[in-house]
Structure 1
Amino acid sequence: MSDLPRPHIRRLFGATDRLAFHRVAARSWPAAQPVLPRLSRSADHGLLWFGIAAGMWAFGGARGRRAAVRGVASLALASGTVNTLGKSAVRRSRPVLDAVPVIRHLSSQPITSSFPSGHSASAAAFATGVALESRGLGAAVAPVAASVAFSRVYTGVHYPSDVLVGAALGVGAAYAVRGMVPSRAQMPPPARPRTDAPALPDGEGLVVVVNPSSGAQPQLMDPVRQLKTALPRAEVVLYEEDAGPLPKVLEEAARDAARRGGVFGVCGGDGTVNAAVTPALRHDVPLMVLPGGTFNHFAADLGVDTVADACAALAEGSAVRADVGRIKSLAGTGPDGRTHTEPVYFLNTFSLGAYPELVRIREEWSPKVGGPPAALLGVAQILHTGQPLRAVVNGKARSMWLLFAGNGAYRSAGIAPVRRHDLADGVLDVRIAHGGHFARTRLLVAALAGQLAKTRLYASAKAQRLVISGLPEDTQMAYDGELAPAPSALLLDKLPEALTVYRPSSD
Structure 2
Amino acid sequence: MSTRRTSPPTVHTTAPAVTRMRDWLQERDLAVFRSVADRHWPGADPLLPKLSRSANHGLLWFGAAAGIAALGSSARSRRAALRGVASLAVASAAINTVGKGAVRRERPIADLVPVVRQLKRQPITTSFPSGHAASAAAFATGVALESKGWGAVVAPVAVAVAASRVYTGVHYPSDVLAGAALGVGAAFALRGVVPTRGQLPAPGRPPGEAPALPAGKDLVVVVNQASGTATATASLVREALPAAEVVEVPPQELSAALEKAAGRGRALGVCGGDGTVNLAASVAATHGMPLAVFPGGTLNHFAYDLGIETVHETAAALTAGDAIRVDLGRFRPGPRGAEGADGYFLNAFSLGVYPELVRTREHWSPRIGGWPAGVLAAFHVLRGRQPLEAELQGRRRPLWLLFVGNGLFQRVGPAPGRRHNLADGLLDVRVVHGGRTPALRLLAAAVAGPLTRSPAHAAVRRRRVRIGGLAPGTPYAYDGEVARSGTELTIDKLPEALTVYCPMPV
The TM tier, using the shorter chain, reads: over 0.9
Q: Distance in 2 between matches of 1:386 and 1:30?
A: 66
Q: Is the 8 A contact 2:165 2:171 kept in 1?
A: yes
Deviation at 1:484, TM superposition (A): 1.2
Deviation at 1:56, TM superposition (A): 2.2
Deviation at 1:454, TM superposition (A): 6.7
User: Helix, strand or coil: the match of 1:93?
Assistant: coil
User: Helix, strand or coil: the match of 1:392?
Assistant: strand
Deviation at 1:117, TM superposition (A): 1.1
Sort the Cα spacing of 1:458 and 1:336 in 2 relative to 1 into closer, same or farther, 3 A: same
Q: Does 1:428 align with 2:427?
A: yes
Identify the residue that residue 28 of structure 1 maps to in structure 2. Answer: 40
Residue by residue over 1:164-222, the C-alpha shift from the partner in whole angstroms, topping out at 9 and shown as x without a partner, is 111111111111111111111111211311223212222111111122310238x9xx3
Q: Does 1:235 align with 2:239?
A: no
User: Which segment drifts farther, 449-458 or 374-383?
Assistant: 449-458
Identify the residue that residue 259 of structure 2 maps to in structure 1. Answer: 251
1:186-225 mapped onto 2 (5 Å cutoff): 186-216=199-229, 222-225=232-235
User: Helix, strand or coil: the match of 2:494?
Assistant: strand
Q: Does 1:264 align with 2:242?
A: no
1:415-494 mapped onto 2 (5 Å cutoff): 417-436=416-435, 438-440=436-438, 442-443=440-441, 446=444, 455-494=454-493
Q: Distance in 1 between matches of 2:446 and 2:319?
A: 45
Q: Does 1:96 align with 2:94?
A: no
Unmatched 5+ stretches in structure 2? 1-12
Sort the Cα spacing of 1:416 and 1:295 in 2 relative to 1 into closer, same or farther, 3 A: closer
Q: Which amino acid aligns with 1:303?
A: G
Q: Which amino acid aligns with 1:198?
A: P
Q: Which amino acid aligns with 1:135?
A: K
Q: Which amino acid aligns with 1:324?
A: L
1:246-325 mapped onto 2 (5 Å cutoff): 246-257=254-265, 262-325=266-329
Identify the residue that residue 330 of structure 2 maps to in structure 1. Answer: 326
Identify the residue that residue 158 of structure 1 maps to in structure 2. Answer: 171
- TM-score of the superposed pair, with normalisation by structure 1: 0.92
Identify the residue that residue 354 of structure 1 maps to in structure 2. Answer: 353
User: Helix, strand or coil: the match of 2:411?
Assistant: coil
Q: Is the 8 A contact 1:404 1:415 kept in 2?
A: no
Q: Which amino acid aligns with 2:504?
A: S
Deviation at 1:65, TM superposition (A): 1.2
Identify the residue that residue 364 of structure 2 maps to in structure 1. Answer: 365
Residue by residue over 1:22-72, the C-alpha shift from the partner in whole angstroms, topping out at 9 and shown as x without a partner, is 111111111222222222222122122112212222232111111111111
Deviation at 1:343, TM superposition (A): 0.8
Q: Is the 8 A contact 2:475 2:483 kept in 1?
A: yes
* Number of equivalenced pairs: 492
Deviation at 1:367, TM superposition (A): 3.2
Q: Does 1:129 align with 2:128?
A: no
Q: Is the 8 A contact 2:292 2:500 kept in 1?
A: yes
Q: Distance in 1 between matches of 2:154 and 2:184?
A: 14
Q: Is the 8 A contact 2:269 2:292 kept in 1?
A: yes
User: Helix, strand or coil: the match of 2:383?
Assistant: helix
User: Helix, strand or coil: the match of 1:33?
Assistant: helix
Identify the residue that residue 412 of structure 1 maps to in structure 2. Answer: 411
Structure with larger Rg: 2
Q: Distance in 2 between matches of 1:290 and 1:136?
A: 21
> RMSD of the TM alignment (CA)?
2.2
> Identity, % of aligned pairs?
56
Q: Distance in 2 between matches of 1:384 and 1:356?
A: 15
Deviation at 1:445, TM superposition (A): 6.9
User: Helix, strand or coil: the match of 1:431?
Assistant: strand
Deviation at 1:451, TM superposition (A): 9.2
Unmatched 5+ stretches in structure 1? 330-334
User: Helix, strand or coil: the match of 1:265?
Assistant: strand
Q: Is the 8 A contact 2:353 2:382 kept in 1?
A: no
Residue by residue over 1:472-500, the C-alpha shift from the partner in whole angstroms, topping out at 9 and shown as x without a partner, is 22311111111111232111111111111
